[in-house]
Amino acid sequence: MANVESLIKSLSHLRGVRVVAAMSGGVDSSVMAALLKDAGADVIGVFLHVWDYSREEVAGHGSCCSLDDAYDARRVSDQIGIPFYSMDMRDNFRDNVIDPFIADYESGRTPNPCERCNRFVKFGALLDAADELEAAYVATGHYVQRHDDESGVRIFRGADDHKDQSYFLATISRRQASRILFPVGNLQKDETRELARHYNLLTAEKHESQDICFIPAGDRIAFLKREGASAGFVPGDIIDTEGNRLGSHQGIAHYTLGQRKGLNLSDGPWHVVALDGVTARVVVAHPAEAMIRRVEVGEAEWIRQPVDGEKLIAKVRYQMKPAACSLTMQGDDYELVFDTPQKPSAPGQVAAVYAGQELLGGGIVQAVHRDGQTNV
């Protein structure tokens, strides 16, 4: 097990400092709050009520932010002896996460709801709430490390490569980053579980959520139809890059850029390389033609601005291994050019930029370029 005394010592500078602990009801945030309490911080547990679930939606599926999670978050707060509040963030979540999620799938983009939740809810509205509670920091259970120096806040990948969540924080601002703590970011996941057992937390063996929090059953199509995303379900043609018709489909919402499974086309394999929300066309290409080199990125935020000559790597999909690239600023936006061709990404996804293990910042993919073609 991780050395508890060493962990507490690393947090000793927070003794007497008020910290809002973002409690999700899971093991990571439970351990985070316990460590802060043990270190002498003035901890306030907060659960964000972002979505209303039916019992049918959550039965048999992992979820986060459900009513059961709210109950677990409250019970853990009681266990470790901290005050607890449940905050109604449903309107904020609808405006900043749900509605853009639906609009993106109707237009042919592939949204990243976790990124938007972090940017606008967890580290947007929750930081505002922290101000009202006169708290200096918000702490989360993210597997991300923070190591400040004389220049200020510095954010790094989590110590557990398999659990690193820095990608989802690439679009937070430097101001937001300066007020966020990640007490479990230097741990391996199994060490976090061991600490939960050490503190006898009721979430120690709790199943980990894998689904999008507002689609706990994992059925994205059913959710989009229920929410009225009709433009995403207009039937259309599947064509190749030369315009030849290869088949038909029942709506672009069924597809994402880079998708290769479920296309049911002959002469494959094929990858989806473009989705046209106006003509309802799905464009596919063979793997070699689908590779991308250049990515246009908007909504850029920098925790630390890249310096001239710095060797950079980036990822434009969560599961992608960061790849060497060059970066050119274009006003408030930037363009990434990878040294070697990469598998397709989709507009709407996060482009996270790193210098080694350090997360510099990122933005939202606006367009990807392959062999002179542009997908937006």
User: Can you tell me the mean pLDDT for 133-149?
Assistant: 96
State residue 375's pLDDT score.
56
Predicted confidence (pLDDT) per residue in 241-268, tens digit: 999 999 999 999 999 988 989 898 999 8
Annotated catalytic residue 114: no
Taking 3-state DSSP, the helix, strand and coil percentages for the chain, each rounded to the nearest 5, stand at 30, 30, 40
Predicted confidence (pLDDT) per residue in 227-242, tens digit: 999 999 999 999 999 9
Q: How confident is the model at residue 208 (pLDDT cuts 50, 70, 90)?
A: confident
> Of all residues in the chain, what percent carry a pLDDT higher than 90?
81
* Parts of the chain belonging to CATH 2.40.30.10: 291-375
- Residue pair 92/119 in contact (Cβ under 8 Å)? The answer is no
pLDDT at 60 over 60: no
State residue 371's pLDDT score.
60
pLDDT at 57 over 60: no
* Parts of the chain belonging to CATH 2.30.30.280: 234-288
pLDDT at 63 over 80: no
Mean of per-residue pLDDT scores for the chain: 91
pLDDT at 119 over 70: yes
Q: How confident is the model at residue 140 (pLDDT cuts 50, 70, 90)?
A: very high
* Parts of the chain belonging to CATH 3.40.50.620: 4-141+183-198
Domain 291-375 in CATH: superfamily?
Translation factors (2.40.30.10)
State residue 64's pLDDT score.
56
State residue 55's pLDDT score.
41
State residue 212's pLDDT score.
83
Locus of tokens 């199994």: 190
Encoding tokens for residue 238? 């599947």
Annotated catalytic residue 213: yes
Predicted confidence (pLDDT) per residue in 302-356, tens digit: 999 999 889 999 999 998 999 999 999 988 899 999 999 998 889 999 999 999 9
Pick the CATH number of 4-141+183-198 from 3.40.50.620, 3.40.30.10, 3.40.50.12160, 3.40.50.970: 3.40.50.620
pLDDT at 54 over 60: no
Q: How confident is the model at residue 218 (pLDDT cuts 50, 70, 90)?
A: confident
State residue 330's pLDDT score.
86
Locus of tokens 């120690």: 204
User: Which amino acid type is present at position 76?
Assistant: V
For the range 336-341, what are the long-range contacts, defined as Cβ-Cβ under 8 Å and sequence gap of 24 or more? 336/294, 336/295, 336/297, 337/293, 337/294, 337/295, 338/292, 338/293, 338/294, 338/295, 338/314, 340/293, 341/291, 341/292, 341/293
The residue from 64, 65, 213, 325 that is catalytic is: 213
Q: Which fold has domain 234-288?
A: SH3 type barrels. (2.30.30)
Q: How far apart are CA 315 and CA 89, in angstroms?
A: 30
State residue 359's pLDDT score.
98
pLDDT at 59 over 50: no
> Of all residues in the chain, what percent carry a pLDDT higher than 70?
94
CB contact burial 249-260 (16+ within 10 A = b; e otherwise): bebbbbbbbbbe
Q: How confident is the model at residue 213 (pLDDT cuts 50, 70, 90)?
A: confident
- Residue pair 47/78 in contact (Cβ under 8 Å)? The answer is no
DSSP state of 149: B
